[in-house]
Each structure stands twice: as structure tokens, then as C-alpha cells.
């Protein structure tokens, strides 16, 4: 065999191996997928920093940053004081100096001490400087219920920040989206609030390491149907898919859309679906009053009024503070409440 033939075969094997690695799909829990996405971002850009309470040696309360400090050092993955306003304020300063800080808010309800820094500084600095200053800051927010915790540990505060111009909000519902969306958020030059459905941290799913499923700020049809469109984000997507499966067994066809991005919202798939089904149910773990669910209901009514055969219906948590853990299953929407709304929509 000639040297050229050997070299040719060797190159072929190397190319096949590289292609196999590039197209590798792994089965990961959502939390581990986030860890892998953060690791990739740290590898790709030395300006990426991770900061937050107990994210270093401990790896965070939910172990999402586990092992990253040991791998990248305490100068790039570091613990902060228990002061959320200080965390975000420091991140703003780092961003002004060219870094890409990623802050972890330990629990959703702890974000409020940083509310002023986020809404009056982080959200406005780029506009205030007429676009001459970028704010590539990501704030990771474990949010939502279903973990049996107490007040300030299971809330859904998305609407407060979606109301604020200058902020981008996203929320993955699958491990694959978690892996890709965290990298895309970090590469954004705008501030991104990254809402992580903490009750899904341990749910496994395939992660395609070769390509993202969709752009960061896009919604996606995750189950096709013909009679009713249901829309949600984060952990609620799993509930909607459960409801659609139950409805299918009873002869009702439901189309499920995962919002993925909460600000901006990609309405094109939603409007197209409503034009097909004529009915829309919007579901969320957050209270319904002045909410993202309200915004979707109003916008779809404006843009697709003549396609609707029934009012847009909302299925949300109740407009009360989050209750004690033993009452969370009553407070949070489940498949039965979604199906009850579907039945009401079909009754018109």
C-alpha cells in the first residue's frame, strides 16, 4: 500500500471521527446541559466570567456550575457576597471594561434586591449612551414551582422585567435548548435574563452538540394539532404536552407552542397556529394579572381577531402570594386545568 493511500485513509478516518464528534448527541438533564453550555462559553471566550453566591466550590444550590471553578480557576468562576444588588452592580462594571459576566441569582425571589440595578442601570445604559456602550450581561434566574420550597423560592417574576425596555428574557424548556440558549445569551451584546425552570433541572433529554434547534429569540411548535393552540414557556411546556397527549386520547387535537423567548416574543408561529385552529389557550405558572399571558392574549386578539372562533383564554397561577409548599399543586396550573380551558374554548 502506498504512502499516499495510507495518508488518504488516515485523513478519511480523522474526518469521519471529527464529523462523529461534531454531530454527537448526548442524553443530559437540563441542569447538566446548562453546565455544559457554560463550560463551552468559558472555553470559547476568556472574557466570560461566572459570579454568584456559592457557585464556586459548591457548584451552586442546584449544582449547575459544579466543577467549573476547578476547571477554569477562581478568577473566572467566583463566589460573591450575599448581596444581589452588588452582584449585578459589579457585573455592570465588568461589562463596561469588556467582560461578559454571567450572574446567578440563587432563587427567583432573591432577584428583587437587584431590581433597581437591573431596571434603572443595566436596562438603560446602552440607550443612555446612544448605542456606544454594550451591556453583555447574563443574569441566570432559577424560577418557578414544583420543588416543595417556601415563599421567595418558587416564584415567577418574569413580567416585572419583560415590562422593562432594554432587557431580553428567555426561558428554555428542554436540555437541548438550555445548552444552546445559554451560549447564545452569553454571546449577545444586550443584557439577557435567563429564566431556568428549576423543577426541570433533573429532567433528561437529548442534547445535539452540533447545532442549535432554533435562534435565541424564536418560539417553536413542539406538537402539531388542528383544533386548539396552547402556548407556554419553561416548565409549563411539559404540562401542555401532557394535556395534549390526554386530549388526543379523547379525540381532540392540540397544537403546543414553546415561547422560548419572553422579550421579545416571536409571534409569527403563534399567529399562524391560531389562524389554523381558531382557538388559543395561554398557560403560565405566574399570576395572570398584568402578565406575559395577558400580553399574548391582547396581541393575538389584535393581530388575529378574525381568525378566532373563541376568546383567548388564560390558565395561570392565582393572583395571590405563593402559598405554603403543601398547597403548590392547587396553586400552579396542571394538565387538568389546561384541558378545562380547552373544553371551554371548544364550547364556543
Distance, CA of 337 to CA of 325 (rounded, Å): 19
Cα dihedral 89, 92, 98, 103 sign = positive
CB within 8 Å of 204: residues ≥ 6 apart: 27, 28, 29, 175
Which cell numbers in the block locate residue 221? 411548535
Task: Work out the angle between the directed axes of helices 236-249 and 335-347 (0-180°, nearest 10).
Answer: 60
> H helices of 188-303, where?
236-249, 268-277, 292-303
Q: How far is CA 164 from the centre of its chain?
A: 18
Contact call for residues 309 and 279 (beta carbons, < 8 A): yes
217 is catalytic: no
Among candidate residues 129, 152, 153, 217, the one labeled active-site is: 153
Between the CA atoms of 174, 176, 177 and 180, what dihedral angle is there, to the nearest 10 degrees?
Answer: 160
Rounded alpha-carbon distances, angstroms, from residue 205 to 19, 41, 44, 131, 196: 22, 21, 24, 39, 15
Q: How many CA atoms, within 13 angstroms, populate the side-chain half-sphere of residue 179?
A: 23
Which cell numbers in the block locate residue 341? 380551558
When computed from its CA atoms, the radius of gyration of the chain, rounded to whole angstroms, is: 22
Q: Return the closest-CA partner of residue 55 out of 17, 81, 32.
A: 81
Question: Which of the residues are catalytic?
Answer: 153
Amino acid at each position: 500500500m502506498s504512502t499516499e493511500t495510507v495518508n488518504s485513509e488516515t485523513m478519511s478516518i480523522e474526518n469521519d471521527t471529527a464529523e462523529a464528534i461534531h454531530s454527537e448527541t448526548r442524553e443530559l438533564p437540563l441542569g447538566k446541559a446548562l453546565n455544559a453550555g457554560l463550560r463551552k462559553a468559558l472555553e470559547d471566550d476568556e472574557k466570560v466570567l461566572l459570579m454568584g453566591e456559592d457557585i464556586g466550590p459548591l457548584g451552586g444550590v442546584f449544582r449547575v456550575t459544579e466543577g467549573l471553578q476547578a476547571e477554569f480557576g477562581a478568577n473566572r468562576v467566583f463566589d460573591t457576597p450575599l448581596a444581589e444588588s452588588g452582584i449585578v452592580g459589579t457585573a455592570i462594571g465588568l461589562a463596561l471594561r469588556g467582560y461578559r459576566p454571567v450572574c446567578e441569582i440563587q432563587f427567583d425571589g432573591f432577584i428583587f434586591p437587584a431590581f433597581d440595578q437591573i431596571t434603572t442601570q443595566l436596562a438603560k445604559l446602552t440607550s443612555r449612551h446612544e448605542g456606544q456602550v454594550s451591556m453583555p450581561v447574563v443574569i441566570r434566574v432559577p424560577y418557578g414551582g414544583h420543588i416543595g420550597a417556601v415563599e421567595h423560592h418558587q416564584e415567577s417574576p418574569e413580567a416585572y422585567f419583560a415590562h422593562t425596555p432594554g432587557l431580553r428574557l428567555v426561558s428554555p424548556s428542554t436540555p437541548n435548548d438550555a445548552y444552546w440558549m445559554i451560549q447564545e445569551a452569553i454571546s449577545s451584546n444586550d443584557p439577557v435574563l435567563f429564566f431556568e425552570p428549576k423543577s426541570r433541572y433533573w429532567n433528561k433529554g437529548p442534547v445535539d452538540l452540533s447545532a442549535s434547534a432554533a435562534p435565541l429569540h424564536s418560539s417553536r411548535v413542539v406538537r402539531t394539532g388542528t383544533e386548539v393552540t396552547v402556548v407556554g414557556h419553561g416548565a409549563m411546556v411539559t404540562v401542555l404536552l401532557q394535556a395534549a397527549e390526554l386530549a388526543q386520547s379523547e379525540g381532540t387535537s392540540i397544537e403546543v407552542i414553546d415561547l422560548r423567548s419572553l422579550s421579545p416574543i416571536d409571534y409569527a408561529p403563534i399567529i399562524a397556529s391560531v389562524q389554523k385552529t381558531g382557538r388559543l389557550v395561554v398557560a403560565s405558572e405566574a399570576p395572570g394579572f398584568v402578565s406575559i399571558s395577558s400580553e399574548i392574549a391582547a396581541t393575538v386578539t389584535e393581530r388575529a381577531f378574525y381568525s378566532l372562533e373563541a376568546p383567548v383564554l388564560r390558565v395561570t397561577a392565582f393572583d395571590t402570594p405563593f402559598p405554603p409548599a403543601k398547597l403548590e399543586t392547587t396553586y400552579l396550573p396542571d394538565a387538568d386545568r389546561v384541558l378545562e380551558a380547552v373544553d371551554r374554548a371548544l364550547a364556543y
